A and B are shown apart, each in its own frame.
Chain A
Amino acid sequence: MFNSVLLAFIPTIPLAEWTASFTAWLTSTFSFLFNPIKEHFGNFMSFTADTLGVIPPIVIMIAVAVAAFFITGRRFGLAAFAFVGLWLIQNQGLWDHLMYTFTLVLLSSILSVIIGVPFGILMSKSKTAEAIIAPILDFMQTMPAFVYLIPAVAFFGIGMVPGVFASLIFATPPTVRLTNLGIRQVPKELVEAAEAFGSTGAQKLFKVELPMAKSTIMAGINQTVMLALSMVVIASMIGAPGLGREVLSALQRAQVGPGFVAGVGIVILAIIIDRFTQSANAQRGKA
């Protein structure tokens, strides 16, 4: 009875309309901001990708392999894998796409970290901030990633910039979360020691808390990078260039072969990036 009254008297709340008009309002109000970002940042990204593209592939392959050798503590495993993997991608004619994908991942990860770490610190320092930010992060992470593509297009049109934007929203939460967690997990006695010796807030943060939280924060960054990679693939749907676009076009034409090859390229890149961020962490954590 009550139920049917509810249904009868309360019309559908126009949530979708509200969101649409809010987005439209944002787009027009902040176009002075969005347009230059789109233009300059877009140019910068193309420039980066093109510059990487100019470097002979063999140079990059060797450089990555050598770096892998040292970063894993002078072991050959990752170095060999990286060299062969990159060579395979080049061999399949996907090198330029790889450079675009890499540029997207790199830049959106860097932005995520630049934005995420300070928010994580803020969260760890204030209960109020934590109470406000935590549910927002939950929201950002549980919303299907595709949904972010829509406002991204509204704000920035199509191409790489909206891809980075969507990736920012989707990939930043782990960095924020784990920065917060890492700082909160610093043993109480160490925080007390820092305070008892008369540290200022900044000294405590930079000399004790961040160094102690470093490996946790790095784990968050690792997750962020992996999420950025997955988002960059999805972002091909709104015109972001790279390996994802190859997968997408293979999908549209139902071509199993090329789709699989481009997919393998993404996997290789993912593994290399993952191992790099992880071993960087392990090595520094020890010293």
Chain B
Amino acid sequence: MAKIKVEKLTKVFGKRPKQAMKMLDGNMTKKEILAETGMTVGVNQASFEVEDGEIFVIMGLSGSGKSTLVRLLNRLIDPTAGNVWVDNEDLAQMDAKQLRDVRRKKMSMVFQKFGLFPFRTILDNVEYGLEVQNIEKEQRRKKAMESLELVGLKGYEDQYPDQLSGGMQQRVGLARALANDPEVLLMDEAFSALDPLIRKDMQDELLDLQTTMKKTIIFITHDLDEALRIGDRIALMKDGSIVQIGTPEEILMNPANDYVEKFVEDVDRSKVLTAQHIMKRPETVNIDKHGPRVALERMREEGISSIFAVDSSRNLKGYITADDASEARKNQVSDLKEILRNEVPTVDRETPMNDIFNIIHDTPVPVAVTENGKLVGIIVRGAVIAALANDSEVNLNV
């Protein structure tokens, strides 16, 4: 069951939204409607589902309607049409009290410019969400402290927001959202105001936290790199409409249209592609069965100077070089184990290409891709370079 379900959600800013709705049905664009009526289409018939525990990224250029969409999810903005269900409950049907309860217990928000209250201490800021629920002072202190600890800000509780750096302030924003222990986190460009290094730290930290918290996170960004780094799925918005939804790979590899393609064009592919995209089926010898003769034969066939050795259940054991093998044959050595070399560089399927590039740079043999110790593929230097050069030979069917 989807945690959040959105259907044909539409928001028009202006005096006569009904009229604009009709025009949208008649397939007029945001631009045309603005020119004709002066009304702005914020979000245009967006539909999607977010699964429990998923990081769902909404991405788009400035003005594409991301903030409006995320505010429709907790009804900070009332929709013109369409529905939002949270845990199968229709947000539009809720009265003020029910809505408050959802905001207090189920969904918390993290803001782009942090949204901290400058006259409150850090601790009091983090407590805010609990305070409005009239939770006892002692208990909310405790929860707020835990939350601050979680984001690594213990010791700052008596400071004021303006005494902290931007990165720290955003951690406070995150701690405040986490203090309520919500099921859903709404993050509107939460990291956009931070400088690139701190931003990357925060992304890592969020991913770290997420491995233990398992929240459902709606994350807004206008930065594709950020989207690709943290998103389980990404929705791309343009002029209020969602133009594509998919995993990072799907978006990168099969852009739905020119707009997405343009967006994707200048992504640094090395950050997105991982070992599994560029690995090849490995040539191997079975160390339990084969001898130097077979090894040499296979290397000759493939035109390679070394070959990976596995055991009968395909566990990677090491590699054999052609030189060693012919030497062994001369000396009548029949057990490959005696000439096995085992300083093999290995990575797993998810290793980003960046890292592979560094490894492959100073190793004479291909890089082995393993999964639980079993050899699943190899990466040769040529494939890395080809992929970096945006060559279409990249193999996605793994």
Residue B68 is within 8 A (CB to CB) of chain A in the complex? no
Closest Cβ neighbor of B102 among chain A residues: A198
Residues in B whose Cβ lies below 8 Å from that of A287:
119
Residues in B whose Cβ lies below 8 Å from that of A192:
71, 76, 109, 111, 115
B132, A207: Cβ atoms closer than 8 Å:
yes
Q: Roughly how many angstroms separate A55 CA and B119 CA in the complex, as a whole number?
A: 39
Residue A23 is within 8 A (CB to CB) of chain B in the complex? no
Chain A interfacial residues counted at CB < 8 A = 19
Q: Which of B45-90 contact A (CB under 8 A)?
A: 71, 74, 76
A196, B76: Cβ atoms closer than 8 Å:
yes
Residues in A whose Cβ lies below 8 Å from that of B250:
none
Q: Roughly how many angstroms separate A163 CA and B186 CA in the complex, as a whole number?
A: 56
Q: Roughly how many angstroms separate A164 CA and B128 CA in the complex, as a whole number?
A: 41
In whole Å, how far is A184's beta carbon from the nearest beta carbon of chain B? Answer: 17
B interface SS class: mixed
B76, A197: Cβ atoms closer than 8 Å:
no
A203, B132: Cβ atoms closer than 8 Å:
yes
A195, B119: Cβ atoms closer than 8 Å:
no
Residue A199 is within 8 A (CB to CB) of chain B in the complex? yes
B115 in complex: contacting residue of A190, A199, A200, A214, CB < 8 Å = A190
Residue B259 is within 8 A (CB to CB) of chain A in the complex? no
Residues in B whose Cβ lies below 8 Å from that of A63:
none
Q: Roughly how many angstroms separate A192 CA and B108 CA in the complex, as a whole number?
A: 11
Q: Roughly how many angstroms separate A197 CA and B180 CA in the complex, as a whole number?
A: 9
Q: Chain B, 98-121, contact with A by CB distance < 8 Å: what is the 0/1 string? A: 001111110111011111111100
B109 in complex: contacting residue of A196, A203, A211, A214, CB < 8 Å = A196
Tell which of A195, A197, A207 has the most Cβ of chain B within 10 Å. Answer: A197
Closest Cβ neighbor of B124 among chain A residues: A207
A195, B108: Cβ atoms closer than 8 Å:
no
A198, B109: Cβ atoms closer than 8 Å:
no
Residues in B whose Cβ lies below 8 Å from that of A207:
128, 131-132
B128, A195: Cβ atoms closer than 8 Å:
no
A198, B132: Cβ atoms closer than 8 Å:
yes
Closest Cβ neighbor of B125 among chain A residues: A193
Residue A212 is within 8 A (CB to CB) of chain B in the complex? yes
Residue A208 is within 8 A (CB to CB) of chain B in the complex? yes
In whole Å, how far is A182's beta carbon from the nearest beta carbon of chain B? Answer: 13
Residue B133 is within 8 A (CB to CB) of chain A in the complex? yes
In whole Å, how far is B66's beta carbon from the nearest beta carbon of chain A? Answer: 15
Residue A189 is within 8 A (CB to CB) of chain B in the complex? yes
Q: Roughly how many angstroms separate A207 CA and B130 CA in the complex, as a whole number?
A: 13
B115, A198: Cβ atoms closer than 8 Å:
no
Given contacts A189-B111, A192-B76, A192-B111, contact A197 B117 (CB under 8 A): no
A189, B117: Cβ atoms closer than 8 Å:
no
Q: Roughly how many angstroms separate A176 CA and B102 CA in the complex, as a whole number?
A: 35
Residue B240 is within 8 A (CB to CB) of chain A in the complex? no
Residue B129 is within 8 A (CB to CB) of chain A in the complex? yes
A196, B132: Cβ atoms closer than 8 Å:
no
Chain B interfacial residues counted at CB < 8 A = 29
Residues in A whose Cβ lies below 8 Å from that of B117:
190, 193, 208, 211-212
Q: Roughly how many angstroms separate A195 CA and B78 CA in the complex, as a whole number?
A: 13
Given contacts A189-B111, A203-B132, A207-B132, contact A196 B74 (CB under 8 A): yes
Q: Roughly how many angstroms separate A198 CA and B100 CA in the complex, as a whole number?
A: 4
B132, A197: Cβ atoms closer than 8 Å:
yes
Residues in B whose Cβ lies below 8 Å from that of A193:
109, 111, 115-117, 128
Q: Roughly how many angstroms separate A197 CA and B101 CA in the complex, as a whole number?
A: 9
A189, B115: Cβ atoms closer than 8 Å:
yes
Q: Which of B272-297 contact A (CB under 8 A)?
A: none
In whole Å, how far is A206's beta carbon from the nearest beta carbon of chain B? Answer: 11
B113, A189: Cβ atoms closer than 8 Å:
yes
Residues in B whose Cβ lies below 8 Å from that of A189:
111-115
In whole Å, how far is B91's beta carbon from the nearest beta carbon of chain A? Answer: 14
B113, A197: Cβ atoms closer than 8 Å:
no
A200, B100: Cβ atoms closer than 8 Å:
yes
Q: Roughly how many angstroms separate A196 CA and B108 CA in the complex, as a whole number?
A: 7
Given contacts A207-B131, A207-B132, A208-B117, contact A197 B104 (CB under 8 A): yes
A212, B119: Cβ atoms closer than 8 Å:
yes
Q: Roughly how many angstroms separate A156 CA and B119 CA in the complex, as a whole number?
A: 44
Q: Roughly how many angstroms separate A214 CA and B103 CA in the complex, as a whole number?
A: 27
In whole Å, how far is B182's beta carbon from the nearest beta carbon of chain A? Answer: 10
Q: Roughly how many angstroms separate A90 CA and B379 CA in the complex, as a whole number?
A: 96
Q: Roughly how many angstroms separate A28 CA and B108 CA in the complex, as a whole number?
A: 59
In whole Å, how far is B104's beta carbon from the nearest beta carbon of chain A? Answer: 4
A195, B103: Cβ atoms closer than 8 Å:
yes
Residues in B whose Cβ lies below 8 Å from that of A187:
113
Q: Chain B, 115-148, contact with A by CB distance < 8 Å: what is the 0/1 string? A: 1111100000000110111000000000000000
A197, B103: Cβ atoms closer than 8 Å:
yes
B101 in complex: contacting residue of A198, A199, A203, CB < 8 Å = A198
Q: Roughly how many angstroms separate A187 CA and B116 CA in the complex, as a whole number?
A: 11
In whole Å, how far is B163's beta carbon from the nearest beta carbon of chain A? Answer: 12
Closest Cβ neighbor of A214 among chain B residues: B119
Q: Which of A204-218 contact B (CB under 8 A)?
A: 207-208, 211-212, 214
Closest Cβ neighbor of A208 among chain B residues: B117
B128 in complex: contacting residue of A197, A200, A212, CB < 8 Å = A197
Residues in B whose Cβ lies below 8 Å from that of A199:
100, 132
Residues in A whose Cβ lies below 8 Å from that of B131:
207
14 contacts between A and B (CB under 8 A): A192-B111, A193-B116, A194-B128, A196-B76, A196-B103, A196-B108, A196-B109, A197-B104, A197-B132, A198-B133, A199-B132, A200-B132, A203-B132, A212-B118
Binding site for A on B (CB under 8 A): 71, 74, 76, 100-105, 107-109, 111-119, 128-129, 131-133, 176, 180, 186
Known: A195-B76, A197-B108. 15 other contacts (CB 8 A): A189-B111, A189-B112, A190-B115, A195-B103, A196-B74, A197-B104, A197-B132, A198-B100, A198-B101, A198-B129, A198-B133, A200-B100, A203-B132, A212-B117, A287-B119
